[in-house]
Amino acid sequence: MSTPEASGRATVARLMREIEDEVREQRRSRLIARGAPDDYRDEAVFAVVESVLRRAVEERDGQALLIPQLLDSDTDWELRLPLELKSHRRLTGPFILFVKRRLLLPIMHWLYEYSLENFRRQARVNRILFASLEELAIEHGKLRLRLGLEDDAEDHGSKS
């Protein structure tokens, strides 16, 4: 006999599938109306594209990405969010830092917080872009292996 929980779970699973389908179709129509690529007229193509990008946006852990690891030797690429106040001047440095911390920073704090929020957003967008690129690379890698092109990949690696 079906319990209320079991039938609720089945209903939720069915509804969530229907909602995802409905939303995907809404988006496809909206994008086509705005002049999206003709490829999106094919529902199947759109579904695959959405699924790959969605995996990148929703499922990838932003702290476990390959691209930042490859860039690790040069940390200049990364947005630095914390504000660090330093001075290289040995004698006047403490005074300059005092002025910055006690006078300028309190006055400018609103601007710092405003910028910080925007930098946070940019950092988030960067992570999502990295994740999207990686998802595409993963798909690409899998396809290459399936097509038996792995030797070709090694050739590319040895040339670089």
Partner 1 sequence: MSSPSLRLCCVVHRFGADIAGGSEGHCRAVAERLATRHDVTILTTTAKDHVSWRNEYPAGQADVGRLHVHRFPVVRQRRIREFAALSEVVFAGDASPDTQIEWFRRNGPEVPDLLAHLETHGHRYDLVLFWSFRYYQSFFGVPIVADRAVLVPTAEEDLAIRIGALKRFFSRPAGMVYLTPEEQVLVERQVDGRVPPSCIIGCGLEPPAAHDRAALAPVGVTPPYVLYLGRIDPNKGCETLVRFYMRWADRLPADGGSVALRHAIPLVMAGPPNMPIPSHPALRALGYVDAPVREALLGEASLLVVPSPYESLSMVLLEAWNHAVPALVNARCRVLEGQARRAGGALAYRNYDEFAVALDRLLRDVSVARQLGAAGRAYVDETYRWPHVMETLERFLVSLRQPVRFA
- Contacts with partner 1, residue ranges (CB under 8 A): 3-13, 15-16, 19-20, 22-23, 26-27, 58, 63, 80-83, 109, 116
Q: Rounded to the nearest whole angstrom, what is the least distance from the CB of residue 38 to partner 1 in the complex? A: 23
Cα R_g (the chain), whole angstroms = 25
Q: Rounded to the nearest whole angstrom, what is the least distance from the CB of residue 54 to partner 1 in the complex? A: 8
Q: Rounded to the nearest whole angstrom, what is the least distance from the CB of residue 49 to partner 1 in the complex? A: 16
Cβ proximity to partner 1, 20 vs 42, nearer residue: 20
Cβ proximity to partner 1, 27 vs 144, nearer residue: 27
Give the span between the Cα atoms of 47 and 34, in whole angstroms: 18
Written as one letter, the residue type at 66 is: L
Q: Rounded to the nearest whole angstrom, what is the least distance from the CB of residue 37 to partner 1 in the complex? A: 20
Give the span between the Cα atoms of 25 and 32, in whole angstroms: 11
Cβ proximity to partner 1, 15 vs 129, nearer residue: 15
Cβ proximity to partner 1, 6 vs 137, nearer residue: 6
Single out the residue of 39, 10, 44 nearest to residue 25, CA to CA: 44
Tell me the H-state helices in 55-160. 66-70, 93-98, 105-146, 150-159
> Count of CB atoms within 10 A of residue 127's CB?
19
Residue 33 C-alpha from the chain's centroid: 26
